[in-house]
Amino acid sequence: MINWKISKLEETASTNDEAQRAAERGAEEGLVIWALRQTAGRGRQGRLWESPDGNLACSIVLRPLSAQETYGEYSFVSALAAHDCVSGLLPPERGPQIALKWPNDVLVGGKKICGILLETGPGWIVAGIGINVASHPSGSTYPATCLLAEGMPARPLETVLDLLLSCVGRWADIRANKGFAPLREAWLERATRGNMTVKLGGETVKGEFVDIDERGALRLKLENGKQRVLSAGDVFL
């Protein structure tokens, strides 16, 4: 069980930066930095994450007892939690359209509703989670959507955050007690499959989704029939 301690800010550059500074100063597991808006929200690889008022931006400090090499598994803890949170907030008939895109985007009807940025250091993880609640960008590389546009009745952001944290707590407990296998299985149940293009560095790899391996890397079947395992990259469907 994680004891949550929420620190609410009107505005900050990036909640991940705030949480990282706190973690480096020894903040306990369960600290949540929540900002009503970010002025320099970060995506992966230096990309920008738009998080205006009305959307959820938070960063969670975790301190697993396991070795630092396994911290990447918390990217799946976060993705499963975000998926369950979004599923819990949208009308049940939207359920079949809610899916995960490797490694940790939550899509609704093929559009991105949530982004996750996991950063780690010795003894700490910062799981940054952004959920589009009231609005979403229109010109993003990957089409985007938000909870209100997908049929969620208006709700206070606190409700969204509380649900998200209870889902993170649940999946973090499963990870701590049973390891990565049940996360892998649950992730695969929610996965977007089929043909995909993965961009990594200057390279583009095309293939068909096979599964994820026991460490969470993406396994693709290439056109020549061979398999390729990718541990990073941006997936386009």
- Name the residues that contact ligand BT5, by CB under 6 A: 14-16, 38, 41-44, 47-51, 57-59, 112, 115-117, 128-130, 132, 136-137, 140-142, 144
Run of H or E residues at 177: helix 157-178
Please report how close the Cβ of residue 92 comes to ligand BT5 at its closest, in angstroms.
24
Closer Cβ to ligand BT5, 138 or 177, answer by number: 138
Q: How many CB atoms lie within 10 A of CB 164?
A: 25
Please report how close the Cβ of residue 128 comes to ligand BT5 at its closest, in angstroms.
3
Tell me the DSSP string of 54-78: TSEEEEEEE--SS-GGGTTHHHHHH
Please report how close the Cβ of residue 59 comes to ligand BT5 at its closest, in angstroms.
5
Closer Cβ to ligand BT5, 73 or 105, answer by number: 105
Q: List all residues 6 or more positions away from 130 whose beta carbon is below 8 Å from its beta carbon.
A: 41, 49, 51, 55, 56, 57, 114, 115, 116, 117
Closer Cβ to ligand BT5, 178 or 199, answer by number: 199
What are the Cα distances from residue 193, in Å, to 35, 68, 200? 34, 29, 19
Please report how close the Cβ of residue 146 comes to ligand BT5 at its closest, in angstroms.
8
34 token code pair:
């929540």
Please report how close the Cβ of residue 177 comes to ligand BT5 at its closest, in angstroms.
27
What are the Cα distances from residue 160, in Å, to 24, 63, 207, 222? 27, 23, 36, 39
Closer Cβ to ligand BT5, 202 or 225, answer by number: 202
* 87 and 118 Cβ atoms separated by less than 8 Å: no
Q: Say which residue the tokens 């070795």 belong to.
A: 67
Closer Cβ to ligand BT5, 49 or 180, answer by number: 49
Please report how close the Cβ of residue 78 comes to ligand BT5 at its closest, in angstroms.
10
Closer Cβ to ligand BT5, 136 or 175, answer by number: 136
Residue 197: strand pairing partners: 206, 236
